[in-house]
A and B are shown apart, each in its own frame.
Chain A
Amino acid sequence: SQKIEQNSEALNIQEGKTATLTCNYTNYSPAYLQWYRQDPGRGPVFLLLIRENEKEKRKERLKVTFDTTLKQSLFHITASQPADSATYLCALDKDGGATNKLIFGTGTLLAVQP
């Protein structure tokens, strides 16, 4: 069956450390993968996209990697701050680039302690 899995347990880290979140998928062949941030009671906010032919993407303190062999994406936040505390969702295109329709993981809650 098709699955997208993210760390189900909350990730607690100290301010200033690097947070690493994992997204694994099975039985999909996505053309790209996206990461979103969601705060309580709000809609997700788009952060980064990485395509199947890209190994790594960076934006300010954020870095995403994409390994299509392992079927895994890693999302890193360097020099983390309490304001980074939120749920982070990975999403991939279900139809291999044909429709831009996204399927989301369950999300990982990140808590950055001051």
Chain B
Amino acid sequence: DTGVSQNPRHKITKRGQNVTFRCDPISEHNRLYWYRQTLGQGPEFLTYFQNEAQLEKSRLLSDRFSAERPKGSFSTLEIQRTEQGDSAMYLCASSLGDRGEGYTFGSGTRLTVV
């Protein structure tokens, strides 16, 4: 297991198009998190899963955003009708879910909406 894998690394899309990102967490980790990070800011929480259950969604996550984790393994984050304000680095992380377990982050997907 080589850590958390995110694909694609970079995505350029036209405004109004739909995009989907994939995250493959560390296999034994039952918690999976999505964050968004813009330049000069820390990661902002979007949503997280325990196994296949989505436990919380941030108010930052509009109706255009949806995330899934079928079978509690990989996860996808879809953004519909992209807007220029969606341009950011989308980070996925996983953890064992124990109290205080540090997160293992992927390298992120850089989204640019033109």
Interface residues of A (CB under 8 A from B): 4, 31-32, 34, 36, 41-46, 49, 51, 89, 91, 93-94, 97, 99-107
B interface residue numbers (CB < 8 A to A): 4, 31, 33, 35, 40-45, 48, 55-56, 91, 93, 95, 97-108, 110
By a CB distance below 8 angstroms, the chain B residues around A45 are: 105
Given the known inter-chain contacts A44-B105, A49-B102, please indicate yes or no for A101 contacting B42, CB distance below 8 A.
Answer: no
The 8 closest A-B pairs by CB, nearest first: A43-B105, A46-B102, A104-B42, A32-B100, A106-B42, A104-B43, A44-B105, A43-B107
Q: Are A31 and B108 in contact (CB under 8 A)?
A: no
B100 touching A31, Cβ below 8 Å: yes
Complex contact A100–B98 (CB within 8 A): yes
Task: Please report the C-alpha to C-alpha distance between residue A32 and residue B100 in the assembled complex, in whole angstroms.
Answer: 7
Q: A102-B45, A103-B45, A104-B43 are in contact. Are A31 and B99 (CB under 8 A)?
A: yes
Task: Please report the C-alpha to C-alpha distance between residue A97 and residue B100 in the assembled complex, in whole angstroms.
Answer: 7
A97 contacts which chain B residues (CB < 8 A)? 99-100
In angstroms, Cα B91 to Cα A4, docked, is: 20
Known A43-B91, A100-B31, A100-B100: A105·B105 in contact at CB below 8 Å: no
**Do B102 and A34 touch (CB < 8 A)?**
yes
Q: How many Å lie between the Cα of A46 and that of B97 in the bound state?
A: 15
By a CB distance below 8 angstroms, the chain B residues around A103 are 45
Bound complex: CA A32 to CA B98 (Å):
12
